[in-house]
Amino acid sequence: MTERRKLVRTDRMRMRWGEMDALGHMNNVSYLRYFEEVRIAWFGTLPIEYRIGSEGPILGTITCKYLKPAVYPVELEITSYIGNPGHSSFSMWHELYNAKDHNERFAEAEAKLVWIDIGAGRSRPMPDWMRETIQG
């Protein structure tokens, strides 16, 4: 962990029965959906308006390291962190645990979020208020 990380939220959710695959554990896509859900929930706490001609963050890349299969029933805990902003992007990390046993970590992910001009479909410099939110 070379970059400074700031904890921005911790969420708990119950794994859903329908997320299990033929091998009897949570399907790999479901991990990414949980990370998306908490990322969007964090965005919901910020003064961002998504509309054509506006601006906001989009997912540029995401990588996920699967550490241990999650098996139903389990209550999940997702911790989310942000890092120092760049010119038009910042990183966000997620860790997925068994909520009742933090020694049981299921996955970790790193996402790169890019600030874009939605109408133009191109990256643009991150606004000062967002930079201050991340650095705060």
Whether residue 113 is predicted with pLDDT greater than 70 in this model: the reply is: yes
Mean pLDDT of 32-56: 86
Q: Inform me whether the pLDDT recorded for 34 exceeds 50.
A: yes
Give Cα 53 distance to the centre of its chain.
25
Tell me the CATH architecture of domain 5-135.
Answer: Roll (3.10)
Q: What is the pLDDT of residue 59?
A: 96
Mean pLDDT of the chain: 93
User: For 14-29, what is the mean pLDDT?
Assistant: 96
> Distance between CA 35 and CA 78 in Å, rounded?
8
pLDDT beyond 70 at 44? yes
The length of the chain is 136
| Ranges 43-52, 75-84, 93-102, 127-136: which has the least confidence | 43-52
Q: Which residue has the tokens 């989310």?
A: 80
Phi, psi for residue 2 in degrees, rounded to 5 = -90, -30
Q: What is the pLDDT of residue 53?
A: 67
Give the alpha-carbon dihedral of 15, 48, 2, 38, to 10 degrees.
0
pLDDT recorded at residue 2: 57
**Residue 56: is its pLDDT beyond 50?**
yes
Q: Is the pLDDT of residue 80 over 80?
A: yes
Query: Does 1 score more than 50 pLDDT?
Result: no
